[in-house]
Structure 1
Amino acid sequence: MDDHTVEPPHVWRDRLPSKYRDSGPRVVRAPVKEMTFVGGKFAPKMGAAGDEGPIADWWVYEDLHRPLTRLDTAVGYSRDDIRLEGITYEQMRPGSFSVPERLADMDVNHVQSALCFPTFPRFCGQTFTEAADRELGLLGVRAYNDWMVEEWCGPQARGRLIPLTLVPLWDAELAAAEVRRNAERGVRAVCFSEIPPHLGLPSIHTDYWDPFLRACDETGTVIAMHIGSSSKMPSTSPDAPAAVGSTITFANCCFSMVDWLMSGKFDRFPRLKIMYAEGQIGWIPYVLERAHVVWEENRAWGGVADKVLRPPAELFAEHIHGCFFDDAFGLRNLDAIGVGNVLYETDYPHSDSTWPRSKEVGESQMGHLAPDVVERIVRGNAIELLGLTGEGLWAGAAAGG
């Protein structure tokens, strides 16, 4: 339920109208002048042709210059060799961007099917949301979705790659229309921000998102939120090393889940389902316990008495899924989370990924669980949530959506 694709250079080049070929997202090979990741902020600087410095492939779009980095695709490298450095496509594992090689790497890792988040658009398409040209931004979102459905998850994927699409977050009506457009071709999952106000967007406590939420509710489209999909990774200070933020990456998921539990949206949209990718699950029991205490004792003055009509734990059980790839503590406390609310992931090809040992890691952490429970965690829950075939495949792949 959480892998990643690194988009090949042709995604927007081949799909945008010709007048946008030179202004839409494109790849440029250039030196890396400087690159830091401190205090939760990624700050790369692109050099000019002829400048000294390591060469990388950069995505260029309006004022954005974003290099491919070793953190985008780290599988196959020793942990001690994974550093914050720019790379080219030739320096990454081909399974990062090529479907046949991805399926081969999935075979090595005992993975049948995978849902993949984007790289260049970032985890909820905020690259297009932050752009100035809204017309081009909308075309960029649609081009990505067409590539995701027709090529990445198309016939050559044989149903093993499951589509996850974007929406234009700057307009909830357009977002709803894009959800419906993709739902018509079998897509059952859409990216969203864990904390929209960090992107300068309204919170879920407003009515702004209602058209989008209604579309997801009516089409059975799961809202997928990845850590960092608010463009603000948790940290403690502007000078904290990246290791601090990496330790507390779950924090945004924690804040976001409380937002949703106290929003009243689940009572208004009863079929709505949300999931948190790469946030792990061990933190969930206490947050649910605390949310219940607040709802029981403080809901009157806390401003939720009239809109949160059921206990938070009940809302969680019906509407929320957490994803993990390495969380022995959470699995030891599975009863406090709920077997039906847990999904398995591998995070390929990122530095945290358990590839190619995901089966081994899973066996070591789930060895105490009954086989039918393991089956639900690693397969059954995802099949049910995403409406996959009984074999765990995406049915739309045969016709490319």
Structure 2
Amino acid sequence: METFPRIISVDDHTVEPPRVWQDRLPSRYRDTGPRIVRAPLKEMTFLGGRFAPVMGAPGDDGPLGDWWVYEDLHRPLTRLDTAVGFDRDEIRLEVITYEQMRPGSHSVPERLADMDANHVQSALCFPTFPRFCGQTFTEARDRDLGLLCVRAYNDWMVEEWCGPDARGRLIPLTLVPLWDAALAAAEVRRNAARGVRAVAFSEIPPHLGLPSIHTDAWDPFLEACDETGTVIAMHIGSSSRMPSTSADAPPAVGSTITYANCCFSMVDWLMSGKFERFPHLRIMYAEGQIGWIPYILERADTVWQENRGWGGVADKVLRPPSELFAGHVYGCFFDDAFGLRNLDAIGVGNVLYETDYPHSDSTWPKSREVGAAQMRHLDPGTVERIVRGNAIDLLRLTPEGLWPGR
């Protein structure tokens, strides 16, 4: 492919700078709010989809890393958080410091330079320390502090990460206090008023101890998203459970089936009746890939057609799930040749491109080459829609693909 469109990535990541919360929380919370501590690693495992690091005490043996400390939580920065630039076989589950990571992980000027090196024009970034939908704050004891932390993150995201230095190339993705749907709705509206068009949410809320999408508990939040045109963005792992098969399964097992929670979640939404009640609602699945979608839609349509009488959906799902998918759901991919070969069964308008910078799965700095190779059978207009056009429409970017701000 001689020319390849400038990429708009709908799934990249930011590693929050050390003082995001220290600079924004009231002084009384400085000792309990999120802060960085440099400390040794005592031990760390990642088995059965569970990440279990243990921070050592000062003076203990072990590699030094930078740790986020918040209430009783000790969460280290790891090479998996910022793996780009390293040979694949050099990427290990190890703690690192800010000095050891690629600067583009946390600094806007260096991020823009790395985007240029990867043929990326604009990018929407998920968080690191808050985790993919802010569940770090949902799991905390002090909900007043948690709400302040959510708002502080959103202020940093809008005003600094996506501020003037980003020149419209970084697209804000904000968080909500998941423990209170009314507060979540208020936060959606607060950020929509300053131009935010995407909010992070959990793929399977009950895994976080929260109500399911089949209840009415989320209606205030969904109404706010419907009213403001805010896209609900769900990243793999945003339920704090990566798919796995057993407690001793190595990470490679979970990495192979990362799409599974997206699959389960999408069926939940299609069978929930929410798209009938909130007709302007749009959802997207970050890093879920797309090759699995055609069969799930086929099966969901069959169940709806043949079994809706006893399946509990006849009175709320009024159209075939595949029709609901076409109008409301977006799959996101960075490396899925199979899905692209079956694009007709998914829908050109329901597919978004991503680069996953700076994670270990990222196609940086060859996202253009990977995309061009996998899309070489597609006509230029289709490639344009997948690589940038659909994102421009969904996130209401400028025709040039930039975030317009307020």
- Return the TM-score normalized by structure 2: 0.98
Q: Give the 3-state SS of the residue equivalent to 1:395 in structure 2.
A: coil
**2:297 aligns to what?**
288
User: How does 1:4-23 map onto structure 2 within 5 Å?
Assistant: 4-23=13-32
**1:161 aligns to what?**
170
**Of 224, 230, 235, which aligns to 1:221?**
230
**Of 351, 370, 394, which aligns to 1:361?**
370
Counterpart CA distance in 2 for 1:208 and 1:292 is 26
**2:54 aligns to what?**
45
User: How does 1:2-401 map onto structure 2 within 5 Å?
Assistant: 2-396=11-405
Deviations 1:112-170 (A, max 9, x none): 00000000000000000000000000000000000000000000000000000000000
Counterpart CA distance in 1 for 2:43 and 2:135 is 23
Question: 1:254 is matched by which residue type in structure 2?
Answer: C
Question: 2:365 is matched by which residue type in structure 1?
Answer: P
Q: Percent identity, aligned pairs only?
A: 85
How far 1:19 sits from its partner (Å)? Answer: 0.6
Q: Give the 3-state SS of the residue equivalent to 1:168 in structure 2.
A: coil
How far 1:278 sits from its partner (Å)? Answer: 0.2
How far 1:273 sits from its partner (Å)? Answer: 0.1
Question: 2:84 is matched by which residue type in structure 1?
Answer: V
Question: 2:49 is matched by which residue type in structure 1?
Answer: G
Counterpart CA distance in 2 for 1:318 and 1:297 is 22
How far 1:351 sits from its partner (Å)? Answer: 0.1
The runs of at least 4 consecutive aligned structure 1 residues that moved more than 2 Å come to: none
Q: Give the 3-state SS of the residue equivalent to 1:223 in structure 2.
A: strand
Counterpart CA distance in 1 for 2:42 and 2:76 is 11
Counterpart CA distance in 2 for 1:137 and 1:200 is 16
How far 1:183 sits from its partner (Å)? Answer: 0.1
Counterpart CA distance in 2 for 1:309 and 1:129 is 34
Deviations 1:299-340 (A, max 9, x none): 010100000001000000000000000000000000000000
Question: 2:358 is matched by which residue type in structure 1?
Answer: P
Counterpart CA distance in 1 for 2:306 and 2:284 is 27
Structure 1 stretches of 5 or more lacking a match? none
Counterpart CA distance in 1 for 2:245 and 2:22 is 40
Q: Give the 3-state SS of the residue equivalent to 1:234 in structure 2.
A: coil
Counterpart CA distance in 2 for 1:312 and 1:393 is 32
Counterpart CA distance in 2 for 1:43 and 1:22 is 24
Q: Give the 3-state SS of the residue equivalent to 1:10 in structure 2.
A: coil
Q: Give the 3-state SS of the residue equivalent to 1:136 in structure 2.
A: helix
Question: 2:200 is matched by which residue type in structure 1?
Answer: C
Q: Give the 3-state SS of the residue equivalent to 2:54 in structure 1.
A: strand
Length, aligned pairs only: 397
Counterpart CA distance in 2 for 1:12 and 1:40 is 28
Counterpart CA distance in 2 for 1:268 and 1:392 is 31
How far 1:63 sits from its partner (Å)? Answer: 1.0
Question: 1:191 is matched by which residue type in structure 2?
Answer: A
Q: Give the 3-state SS of the residue equivalent to 1:24 in structure 2.
A: coil
How far 1:261 sits from its partner (Å)? Answer: 0.2
RMSD: 0.4
